[in-house]
Amino acid sequence: MRTPLPDGLIVVAKADCPTCRLVEPLLAELAQAGPLTVYVQDSTDYATHLEGTQFDETLEYSWRLGTEFVPTLIRVANGKEIARTYGWHKDEWRAITGLGASLGQTLEPALPDMRPGCGSKTLEPGIAERLELAFGDFKLQSRHIDISGADDAIEACYERGWSDGLPVVPPTPLRVLRMLKGTRRAAHEIVGLMPPDLLPCTVEKVAINAVMAGCKPEYMPVLLAALEAALDEDFGLHGLICTTMFGSPMIMVNGPIAKAIGMNSGGNALGQGNRANATIGRALQLIIRNVGGGRPGEIDRATLGNPGKYSFCFAEAEHSDWLPLAQERGIAAGRSAVTVFPGEGVQGIIDQKSRDPESLVRSFALSLRAVDHAKLAMAGDAVLVVSPEHSRVFIEAGWSKQRLREELEHLLLTPGKDLLVGVGGIAEGIHERFKDKLVPKFRPGGLLIIRAGGTAGLFSAVIAGWAASGPIGSSPVTREVTL
Amino acid sequence: MNETILLDPTAENAPAQRARLPRPDTLHNKVVGLLDISKPRGNIFLDRIEEQLTALGIEVKRYSKPTFTRPAPTELKQRMAAEVDLLVEGLAD
């Protein structure tokens, strides 16, 4: 409170609230009995004959009093609130006003014992954060950029280099405050040092970039978990941002949060059109760009890049017979989690003929050989995205995800001599020392399997990882989403 | 919604307002563009500058906007940016 509360009685009311109108004739009695302040939220046309009536046009008084309903009756003594009631409760009004049974006794018809009030104007949609910004103690820490000279806020964002090439939502203080309501974490908390510039990234900076990406506040827990996962030492984000290769953080979401925020794991799961998928992935990319300074042509040295660098985020179409990705990676059942992977683009596997797992697994294995280069091995990790129709072939035959992975690993063992440098007239290939060995395509743990996609289509997909996978570069990281 | 104040999404390791490019120390080996905005007699001023720069052995390229009433066409701006190191523009009569 800036100024002490006025002693006596305070009534907060709205002229268009029937219960406030019901109690309006009593206010003169209250004023006679002692000091009375009446704050009216919506009009000057209420209790106008009373000296203590004020039109609370900015709602500052109502907000400072923490008003949730009108009418609210408050008793203040020595600058402190000592009693409060809201709505019309005859007994409580009699007690708090100290007027006892005489209160309203002369009114005709007699007042009912009780009548509920209306919601306070301070809590109407969109109002609460405005009032908090205007009158609250909370201050956003980020630098304020005055763009009043610009005729278009979106163009101003472009000019400042804040965009990935698509329009961003201008990060006004009000929008950022609303975004911060999506997490219980403090705005000033540092999530980590953001590569490549290695500067601190606060929850507030995450919220600003989430606003620009088009996120809803409820996406914040997923975005924060994805950012933390990407900042894990094992993920090697610094190198991934700077590499000449294709990869960039791809986010896979498991658990109840995916449905709760409306993520797409079904038709076109890897494509456009779903707000959560599109904006969570984009927000992570904007954080890399704006907080980390990872911009193409500067420290992002990608030769070709890939369209997933705008955004790449989807959820698993979880199936009771297949262990979800996050659970395979140690997250308890029923919990939500994100897994980040240094994904390249999407390579389709079209197999519309296989009806048994033995044939389909061979199709998958053959297609997975293309990761990095058919003659390279143990370089890049890969995600195999199995569609519902393909997964049914395995599930109906009793193959678990684990079984599928083991069969693939077996099928992907290759005599080293077939992959050596120069073999097949191709200079690219693996080192001579593997000549007499059976070589796995992927390093241990380097093949991830996730189920996603629409219910029609005997198609699956390979998403190759960074050729520098594992301890030398990037390993996938899974992080639980905490609300 | 009031959109005149935005919160900086960056790590704030660069100034809030963009600084002008530093002036070159020398015009040696630089190409100087002269942009005539197509106001009357602008050419007389620019002709004289061209004369003086050329006398110093500095390469000069001449450009003109179709009309002073509108911003330069994008194609012209791109061409000038690609062809010269510095640009002199006469803004008024």
Residue B17 is assigned to a structural domain of this protein: no
Q: Between residues 173 and 232 of chain A, which touch chain B (CB distance below 8 Å)?
A: 173-176, 194, 197, 199-201, 204-205, 208-209, 212
Domain of B70? 31-89
Do A172 and A215 form a contact (C-beta atoms < 8 A)? no
Percentage of residues of chain A with pLDDT beyond 90: 93
Question: Which of B9, B12, B16 is closest, CB to CB, to A171?
Answer: B9
Is B11 inside any structural domain?
no
User: For B3, which of A160, A172, A205 is closest by C-beta distance?
Assistant: A172
Cβ separation of A142 and B7 shorter than 8 Å? Answer: yes
Contacts of B19 in chain A (CB under 8 A): none
Q: What local confidence, expressed as pLDDT, does residue B92 receive?
A: 60
Q: Which residues contact B27 (CB under 8 A, 6 or more apart)?
A: B53, B56, B58, B86
Spell out the long-range contacts of A327-333 with Cβ–Cβ below 8 A and sequence spacing 24 or more.
A327/A254, A328/A401, A328/A402, A329/A476, A329/A478, A330/A478, A331/A254, A331/A255, A331/A478, A331/A480
DSSP code per residue over A17-44: -HHHHHHGGGHHHHHHHS-EEEEESS-S
Paired strand residues for B6: A145
Smallest CA–CA distance from A288 into chain B, residue: B10
Q: Are A344 and A379 in contact (CB under 8 A)?
A: no
Mention every residue, 6+ apart, whose C-beta is less than 8 A from residue A351.
Answer: A359, A360, A363, A390, A458, A459, A460
Going by C-alpha positions, the residue among A299, A302, A275, A274 that lies closest to residue A289 is A299
pLDDT at site B93:
56
The reply to whether B12 touches chain A by the CB within 8 Å rule is yes
Tell me whether residues B1 and A205 touch, CB distance under 8 A.
no
A144 inside 8 A of chain B by CB: yes
Pair A257, A481: CB distance under 8 Å? yes
Q: How far is the C-alpha of A434 from the C-alpha of A415, rounded, in Å?
A: 8
Does the residue B1 lie in any domain? no
Res B1 pLDDT > 60: no
Whether B49 maps to a domain, the answer reads: yes
B8-59 pLDDT, tens digit each? 999 998 887 777 788 889 999 999 999 998 887 888 889 999 999 999 999 9
Look up residue A171 and give its two tokens: 């990060």
Structural tokens at position B64:
């003109």
Question: Phi/psi at A68 (nearest 5 deg)?
Answer: -110, -30
B71 pLDDT more than 80: no
CB atoms B11 and A174 under 8 Å: no
User: For chain B, how many structural domains are there in total?
Assistant: 1
- The domain ranges of chain A are 8-135, 138-343, 345-464
pLDDT tens, residue by residue, A203-222: 999 999 999 999 999 999 99
Q: Is A142 on the interface with B (CB under 8 A)?
A: yes
Give the pLDDT of residue A3.
67
In a domain, B44, yes or no: yes
Structure confidence at residue B2 (pLDDT): 65
Task: Give Cβ neighbours of residue A126 (< 8 Å, ≥ 6 apart).
Answer: none
| Residue A314: burial class (beta carbons within 10 Å; 0-12, 13-18, 19+) | buried
- CA distance linking residue B13 with residue A145, whole number of Å: 14
Q: How many CB atoms lie within 10 A of CB A396?
A: 12
Which residues in B lie closer than 8 A to residue A140 (C-beta atoms)?
Answer: 7
**In angstroms, rounded to a whole number, what is the distance separating the alpha carbons of residues A313 and A283?**
10
Q: What's the token pair of residue A414?
A: 């290759």
Q: What is the mean pLDDT of chain A?
A: 95
DSSP characters over A247-293: -EEEEEEESHHHHHTT---STTTTSS--HHHHHHHHHHHHHHHHTS-
Please report the pLDDT score of residue A45 as a whole number. 94
Strands A144-146 and B5-7: antiparallel
> Smallest Cα–Cα separation from A482: which of A208, A224, A207, A254?
A224
Contact present, A12 and A70 (Cβ < 8 Å): yes
Name the residue among A331, A319, A315, A231 with its Cα closest to residue A276.
A315
Residues sharing a CB contact under 8 Å with residue A76, sequence separation 6 or more, in sequence order: A5, A6, A7, A8, A9, A10, A82
Query: In the structure encoding, which two tokens stand for residue B9, read together?
Result: 């999404």
pLDDT in tens, A1-34: 466 788 999 999 999 999 999 999 999 999 999 9
Q: Between chains, do B5 and A144 touch, taking CB under 8 Å as contact?
A: yes
Q: What is the pLDDT of residue A472?
A: 85
Contact A46, A11 (CB under 8 A): no
Spatial separation of the C-alpha atoms in residues A297 and A452, rounded to whole Å: 34
pLDDT at position A149 is: 83
Q: Is A80 helix (H, G, I), strand (E, B) or coil?
A: strand
Residues of B in contact with A173 (CB under 8 A): 5, 7
The tens digit of pLDDT for each residue in A239-261 reads 999 999 999 999 999 999 999 99
* ipTM tops the 0.90 cut: no
Tell me whether strands A69-70 and A118-119 are parallel, antiparallel or unpaired. Answer: antiparallel
Mean pLDDT by 10 residues, chain A (483 residues): 80 96 95 95 94 96 95 95 96 94 83 93 90 91 92 94 98 96 97 95 98 98 98 94 94 98 98 98 98 95 96 98 98 98 97 97 98 96 98 98 98 98 97 97 97 97 95 94 94
Which residue of chain B is at minimal alpha-carbon distance from A283?
B9
Is B2 a member of any domain?
no
Q: What would the DSSP string read from start to end of A154-176?
A: HHHHHHTT--SSS------HHHH
Is A8-135 a domain of CATH 3.40.50.2300?
Answer: no
Dig out the tokens for A322 from the structure.
């297949």
Q: A128-144, pLDDT tens digit by residue?
A: 889 999 999 888 999 99
